[in-house]
Structure 1
Amino acid sequence: MLGNFCYLAYRIFTDFSTIMSTTRPIKISNGRIITPYRLLRHATLLVSEGRIAAISEGDIEAPEALVIDAAGRYVAPGFIDIHVHGGGGHDFMDGTEEAFHTIAKFHTRHGTTAMTPTTLSCGKEELLAVLETYQRVSGQPGHGAQFIGMHLEGPYFAMNQRGAQDARYIRNPDPAEYRELTTRFPFIRRWSAAPELPGALDLADWLRGKGILPALAHTEALYDEVLQAFERGYTHATHLYSMMLGVTRRGATRYAGAIEAAFLIDEMTVEIIADGIHLPPPLLQLVCKIKGPGRTALITDAMRGAGMPPGESILGARHNGLPVIIEDGVAKLPDRSAFAGSVATADRLVRNMIQLAGQPVADAVRMMTSTPAAIMGVGDRKGSLLPGKDADIVLFDDQVNIHVTIAGGNIVYTKEVYA
């Protein structure tokens, strides 16, 4: 396993030897540019000082610019992953600056330009260490995806729906704990919890008051409980279908669960692990049919095994995480009784939504860009190609193979060298 990790690390950093740092404007020409309104063919986009300066159906005069010939490829907003645990052999729960930087760099190879690092249920001291690491690295210059806030997944979950979350740490909401954490670390932007737990609605009130998104997850809530929770602020469903109830029976009576509630509450947004394994094609199609691209975000939910060869891995922190097996394009518990995480990347999600779910390219891209940006409250600067917005851009071909990734106006990944 160690040998595979060293080999992958070599590959990653060899690929990144082509990272280009330039203060010159960047002109992307001859591309199929995906705007919020339409597809522009043979179009040009100009980047200056980290922002999109102009978009034109024709040429843009910029003699001093570094020119990237898109060669007819798609030019899209950079992908935004609002639920990701790791990749490239690292997990954010490792709590090291190396882990944060390596994960951010790894995912740029797959088109991600912004992400919300996500935790797992753990002890308070371990969580503090991860949050303190984020605090240090968020102000450091880097050549990877930008961090747009932390997502705490747990530990306030229903025990029977914990999945691969460590049972030692599952507990009910603790007001002293969550008030301290959200006050001390204002970059916490989202917290996933089971809304039926005692104190979970008070948690939502507190989070919304801090501008933090409460999301329902790992829950046994039924429809009526979800509706009440939605009214208190749980407006988003974490990894829809995974670790939540659908239609269930209690005695002779059937009840709608959290899945049906997410579908029936029109305003509720959802996220899906579109790896084609957690959700097979018919369910991907069903989510799109009911919720649509404006209410559906694609997430990798990737753990450290993303980008790694099949074999043994660890979910969570390296020193005390859960042993898992990577095989068949997914992480599994050692006894193969359940999935234990995703090894997907953003390009794979977009490709699957086109090829497996039959979505138009623009809609698949929307679910990986403007929709997650809106959910996380950064749509004013990210998620779409418009003048004045951050220059987060990805170039990909008809098979959604990534050719260039630009984050904040910097070329952070490229298959080609431009001069």
Structure 2
Amino acid sequence: MYVHSSAINQIMKKTLYHNAQVILHDSIEWGAVLVEGKKIKRVIGEKDLDLSEFEGVEFIDVEGNYLSPGFIDIHVHGGGGYDFMDGTEEAFREIAIVHAKHGTTAIVPTTLTTTTERLEDTLNSYAKVRDEVINGAEFLGMHLEGPYFALTQRGAQDPRYIRKPDPREYRYLIENYAGIVRWSAAPELEGALEFGAYLSEKGIIAAVAHTDAVYEDVVAAHKVGFNLMTHFYSAMSGVSRRNAFRYAGVVEAGYLIDDFDLELIADGIHLPDPLLRLIYKVKGPDRMVLVTDAMRAAGTNVSESVLGSFDDGLEVLVEDGVAKLKDRSAFAGSVATADRLIRTMLKLGDIPLEEVIQMITFNPARVMKVADRKGAIEVGKDADMVIFDDDVNVQMTIVNGRIVYQLNK
């Protein structure tokens, strides 16, 4: 990557990224992007580019690589040997740095099923770092995954802490921790519809997860505000027979209810190619959201790890490109990073690169209600961008106009 500095305005730095294949919302165009401070100032077509017109600007030659909107990962537990359930400020900072190396510019830190006290530890740590300028991905708010789940669909969630929605608990947490932006729960539980309605009233995203619901349960949940499915297919019901009658499950509801967004762990392990192709065929690119669901082993080469905090988490194996419970009875989160998700989707064939990028940029920005400032290379939006080559090897990551990662630097 060739970087040439001219007289830089130190008050409002200007940078021109040129000679790039710029990934726009519905096309890829040769051109350049001018960044001023934290924002995208101009998007320029190659034929209209005249470098001589720019004064006081740093020029960065992208060398024909792709210039993409920054990747937004709305379901992350950890990475680099850290987990958000460690409940420390260091964990938040280090996870943000690790994922930025793989093109992630914004993340939604995610908890696990645990006690109220441990949730508070993590939420308190988040409150201390949420506004810091970290040399990594930006935080978009906290995602509480549990503890209101179906025990039969717990997956790797610790059964000791699974419980029904408790109004005293969730009202207390929401009233005292402004950083909560989404919450995943099983909609068939007693009190779950009241819980979902309360989340919607507070502007918090309600997501269906770890559930044995039938289609009718999901329809009822959708009416009170549930509009996202957490790690689609994983820990959720499909067609079942009850008293000899067949019932459609959560998976079928995800397909049939048009405005449900589906979160996909596209690491090639959680969802095999046929299922990814089926989801794309039925839902199309507009409702698919790629997530890593990464645990602490992401970005490392370890063969054993811990899901959750070291003192109260579950020991797991890391093999076959995924984390598993020790008895290999269930997956225990992924070890993927965002660039791997994109490579997996591209291997399916016949999916344009710009559509795959949409699944990890604009779509999650829309789901998280930040599409007015993130998720696309457009004038006025945050200068969150990634430069990567034909094999989706990340060369540079830019967050709010700052280069937070550069290959070989």
Displacement, 1:310?
3.6
Task: Report the Cα distance in structure 2 between the residues aligned to 1:376 and 1:358, rounded to whole angstroms.
Answer: 28
In structure 2, the residue matched to 1:51 is 39
SS in structure 2 at match of 1:294: helix
In structure 2, the residue matched to 1:121 is 113
Match status 1:88 vs 2:76: no
Contact 2:207 2:227 in 1 (8 A): yes
Kindly provide the CA deviation profile for residues 175-198 of structure 1, in whole angstroms up to 9, marking residues without a partner as x. Answer: 011111111112211000000000
Match status 1:314 vs 2:306: yes
186, 192, 201: which is aligned to 1:194? 186
Kindly provide the CA deviation profile for residues 251-293 of structure 1, in whole angstroms up to 9, marking residues without a partner as x. Answer: 3221110000000001111110000000000101111111111
Match status 1:340 vs 2:340: no
Task: Report the Cα distance in structure 1 between the residues aligned to 2:395 and 2:301, rounded to whole angstroms.
Answer: 22
11, 17, 21: which is aligned to 1:28? 17
Amino acid at match of 2:204: I
Kindly provide the CA deviation profile for residues 122-145 of structure 1, in whole angstroms up to 9, marking residues without a partner as x. Answer: 011111000000000012221110
Task: Report the Cα distance in structure 2 between the residues aligned to 1:139 and 1:379, rounded to whole angstroms.
Answer: 19
Task: Report the Cα distance in structure 1 between the residues aligned to 2:38 and 2:282, rounded to whole angstroms.
Answer: 37
Match status 1:294 vs 2:286: yes
Contact 1:276 1:356 in 2 (8 A): no
Displacement, 1:358?
3.9
Contact 2:26 2:355 in 1 (8 A): no
Kindly provide the CA deviation profile for residues 190-238 of structure 1, in whole angstroms up to 9, marking residues without a partner as x. Answer: 0000000000000011111110010000000000111111111111100
Task: Report the Cα distance in structure 2 between the residues aligned to 1:46 and 1:338, rounded to whole angstroms.
Answer: 47
Task: Report the Cα distance in structure 2 between the residues aligned to 1:199 and 1:399, rounded to whole angstroms.
Answer: 47
In structure 2, the residue matched to 1:140 is 132
SS in structure 1 at match of 2:277: helix
Contact 2:26 2:354 in 1 (8 A): no
Match status 1:173 vs 2:162: no
Displacement, 1:357?
5.3
Contact 2:147 2:161 in 1 (8 A): yes
In structure 1, the residue matched to 2:27 is 38
Amino acid at match of 1:157: F
Task: Report the Cα distance in structure 1 between the residues aligned to 2:350 and 2:327, rounded to whole angstroms.
Answer: 34
Amino acid at match of 2:13: R
Task: Report the Cα distance in structure 2 between the residues aligned to 1:394 and 1:26, rounded to whole angstroms.
Answer: 14
Task: Report the Cα distance in structure 2 between the residues aligned to 1:356 and 1:338, rounded to whole angstroms.
Answer: 25
Alpha carbons of 1:90 and 1:357: their partners in 2 closer, same or farther (altered >3 Å)?
farther
Match status 1:378 vs 2:366: no
Q: List alignment gaps of at least 5 residues for structure 2.
A: 1-9
Task: Report the Cα distance in structure 2 between the residues aligned to 1:397 and 1:235, rounded to whole angstroms.
Answer: 34
Amino acid at match of 1:57: G
In structure 1, the residue matched to 2:273 is 281
SS in structure 1 at match of 2:285: coil
SS in structure 2 at match of 1:411: strand
Kindly provide the CA deviation profile for residues 107-156 of structure 1, in whole angstroms up to 9, marking residues without a partner as x. Answer: 01100000100000001111100000000001222111000010000000
Contact 1:92 1:99 in 2 (8 A): yes
In structure 2, the residue matched to 1:3 is none
Task: Report the Cα distance in structure 2 between the residues aligned to 1:175 and 1:378, rounded to whole angstroms.
Answer: 28
Task: Report the Cα distance in structure 1 between the residues aligned to 2:141 and 2:286, rounded to whole angstroms.
Answer: 22
Amino acid at match of 1:97: E
Amino acid at match of 2:42: A
Task: Report the Cα distance in structure 1 between the residues aligned to 2:247 and 2:70, rounded to whole angstroms.
Answer: 40
Q: List alignment gaps of at least 5 residues for structure 1.
A: 1-21
Match status 1:413 vs 2:402: no
257, 261, 280: which is aligned to 1:265? 257
Task: Report the Cα distance in structure 2 between the residues aligned to 1:403 and 1:180, rounded to whole angstroms.
Answer: 44
Kindly provide the CA deviation profile for residues 353-401 of structure 1, in whole angstroms up to 9, marking residues without a partner as x. Answer: 1113542100100000000000010000000000000000001111111
SS in structure 2 at match of 1:235: strand
226, 236, 249: which is aligned to 1:244? 236
Kindly provide the CA deviation profile for residues 294-321 of structure 1, in whole angstroms up to 9, marking residues without a partner as x. Answer: 1110000000010111411000011111
Displacement, 1:416?
5.3
When normalised by structure 2's length, the TM-score is: 0.95
Kindly provide the CA deviation profile for residues 146-176 of structure 1, in whole angstroms up to 9, marking residues without a partner as x. Answer: 0001000000000110111011110000001
SS in structure 1 at match of 2:226: coil
Contact 1:248 1:255 in 2 (8 A): yes
Alpha carbons of 1:240 and 1:357: their partners in 2 closer, same or farther (altered >3 Å)?
farther
Amino acid at match of 1:259: V
| Count of aligned positions | 395
234, 238, 244: which is aligned to 2:226? 234
